Amino acid sequence: MGDMPIYVGGHSADVWANQTLFLLNENCRPSAVAGVPPDAFSEDGQLWGNPLYDWNAHDKEGYEWWAGRLGRALELHDEVRIDHFRAFAAYYSVPADAKTAKSGKWIVGPGEKFFKGIASAVGGAPIVAEDLGVITEDVVALRNAIDAPGMVVLQFAWGDEEGDPRSPHLPHNHYENSFCYPGTHDNETTAGWYANQDETTKLKLANYAGIDEKEGAAWGFIRLGMASVSKACVFTMQDVMALGNEGRMNTPGIADGNWAWRVGAPGFFEGARGEAERLAALAERYQRIASSGPQAPPKKAAAAVVEAAAKTAPSPAAPAAEEKKKFLGMF
């Protein structure tokens, strides 16, 4: 599964070679830049600084540049997640000389016309919509119109003192055409997040989800993700390893110290067989495995999955020999 940022860098070859497709001034510098308004991550908003697209120019050329970009991504990956999907419905434009993102404004994006324009390049390949942040009805309508899976994040379901029983991130509100995450690369690790919650929130987690100290929050959320009705669930390696915030990948709004975490030295995965077996058991229990199609495994690999599941946790019903399976929807 690939991950594509919606914007490109101002000094990139993309902008240099396709200047008419971006909002640039007479000096070939951005006339406005990308960002997001103030939110829970940053009181000043996030000033990304990327040049914005001239969507009228893209429309006139039939979205040829975008079709090539996505086409190349799909040569490398089976599926692609587009970061900041909401900008296709409406994007946040900040004056190029602004010091923070507070002075920005929302502008209507290309909408469904964009996805019709790139259809020939994408074909039937799945596009996952990163629909987090300020999500309005137009974003939901666009996602539904193109039948793209959205995202639900378990960490976003708790923490509010009052709580919101209608939160889309609570497991009982999940919908099938979605990907479930305990947390993304922008969040704290789940163990780190749990450590920073008050006792009221921890009690809610215990009552609602059976999260306790023995299982740990990281594996409790992995279990919830596996059990969700979401069509797929995605876990960070930091959560699989139950790391605290020393393993955090990225802190939005802070420029330094991000993307430095590494999984470990060569041979690391040989020492992670326990975690692999635990994932296999949960995947078997919640039927997140495929019995046919391109993701179906060789018989030996399938048998190993079932054997690991049997060792780690009892399964309600063992699969028949012809139903040996492989992980599906877990990245």
- Please identify every residue annotated as catalytic: 83, 130, 186
- DSSP code, position 241: T
The DSSP bridge pattern shows strands 105-108 and 90-95 to be antiparallel
- What is the Cα–Cα distance from 66 to 263, expressed in whole angstroms? 33
308: helix, strand or coil: helix
- DSSP code, position 249: -
- What is the Cα–Cα distance from 71 to 77, expressed in whole angstroms? 10
- In Å, how far from its chain's centre is CA 97? 31
174: helix, strand or coil: coil
137: helix, strand or coil: helix
Which ranges constitute the DSSP H helices of the chain? 13-17, 55-60, 64-76, 112-117, 119-122, 137-145, 190-195, 199-209, 217-227, 237-240, 273-285, 299-312
- In Å, how far from its chain's centre is CA 325? 25
Q: How far is CA 65 from CA 25, 60, 110, in A?
A: 21, 11, 15
Residue among 233, 238, 263 nearest 248 (CA): 238
63 within 8 A of 79, measured Cβ to Cβ: no
Residues 246-259 as b or e (16 or more Cβ within 10 Å = b): ebbbebbbeeeeee
